[in-house]
Each structure stands twice: as structure tokens, then as C-alpha cells.
Amino acid sequence: MKKYSIILLCFVISLIVIGHHSYQASGKTTYMYPNLPAPIGKEPVLITSAGQTVEGGIVHKLAQQLHLDAEYRPRALATDLYEYETLVIVAGYSYNGLLHKNRRLAQEKERIVELMKEAEAEQVPVVIFDLDVQYRDYEESWEFLTMTLPYADYFIGKEHEVPPQNLMGMIHDYKIKSTFVNEIEDMKTPFNSVFR
């Protein structure tokens, strides 16, 4: 009988410890997935940049490799969204990108706000990509993330050595499904899961 008492006591202690850790962690959900469990988007796809970073071209190349019906339009307007079923935003600020596109920062912000409002009104799924925020850690890059994340259905980003707490906080606050990968090439799997 004594033998069974020790086993029962160990079992009860294990349940208490597991229950305590589950209770503590219950308020810290981060909605991280290796990829989406079910598709949220449809083709055709509009890819654009928030901040005119050149990485939009990289995401378009990933879309081509996945054989997605996607178009990259760095200066896409809200009125362009009617042709598309999914919106992909590549967030990141580039001073040279804006200069090359002959745009001012205020114009770019206004374009993105209008695009986000239109996507919400038309119920178009929004996927946000972050390829370089740890290298382009500019105030403007964070502004674009702040403008787009409230509308996001899914976030795909590059793994950071130390995850930026403000980014993780926004993902948590807006309950955005997210995937972080080590390499840009690894983004193909979660990107593909948006559609298939």
C-alpha cells in the first residue's frame, strides 16, 4: 500500500505543477505557428511595400517560385485592390526607395492607411512580411508596422536574435497569427500555407 501512496503523491504533485505553469502561461499567448493550419487567402495576390523597401521584389520572387498568381506594385493604391483577393504588405522604410519613387514619407503613409482601410472594407486578407526590421531599425519602419499590423491576418517575419518586444507586443495585442523563420528562403512554406 505504501508503494502506491508514493506513486499517487508523485502524480498529484505533477498535476499541481503542470496546472500552475498552465495558469501562469495562459495570459501570454503569442499565436505562433510553423505555418497556417488552413488557407486564409486566395489568388490573385497584390504585393506592395509599406515604406518602399526593396524587399517587396524578394517577396514577389518567392510568390513566383510558389507559382502564385501575384503582382508586385510598389505604389499600389486602395483603388487597385478591387482586382485582388489577398493583399501582401512588405513593411520596411527606405529613404532611397522613397526618393527613387519620387514620393514623400507623408504620401507613403497616406497611401498605406487608405490601402488598409480598403482591405478591411472589402474583407481582403492581409499578410504582413518583415524581412529586415532588425537591420532597418528606423522609427519610420516601426510606424509602418504600427499602421499595418492592426489589419493583419497573418505575419511572416525573420527570426531575431533578440525578438523586439514592441513587435511581439503588437502581435500579441492584435492576436495575429505569426511565423518567424531563420532564412528568407524558409518563408516559402508559411507563405504557401496562406493559399494551399
Q: Is residue 98 one of the residues assigned to a domain?
A: yes
Are residues 131 and 101 in contact, defined by beta-carbon separation less than 8 angstroms?
no
Q: What is the pLDDT along the chain (196 residues), one digit of tens a residue?
A: 566 666 666 666 665 656 544 444 444 445 577 778 899 999 999 999 998 888 999 999 999 999 999 999 999 999 999 999 999 999 988 877 767 777 788 999 999 999 999 999 999 999 999 987 666 677 888 899 999 999 999 999 988 777 788 889 999 999 999 999 999 999 999 999 999 8
Cis, peptide link before residue 44, omega less than 30° from 0: yes
Q: Is residue 8 one of the residues assigned to a domain?
A: no
What's the pLDDT at 92? 86
User: Does an H or E element contain 18, and which?
Assistant: helix 2-25
Maximum C-alpha span of the chain:
83
Q: What is the CATH number of the domain that holds 65?
A: 3.40.1190.20
**pTM score, whole prediction:** 0.81
- Count of domains for the chain: 1
Residue ranges making up the domain that contains 84: 42-193
Q: Is residue 155 one of the residues assigned to a domain?
A: yes
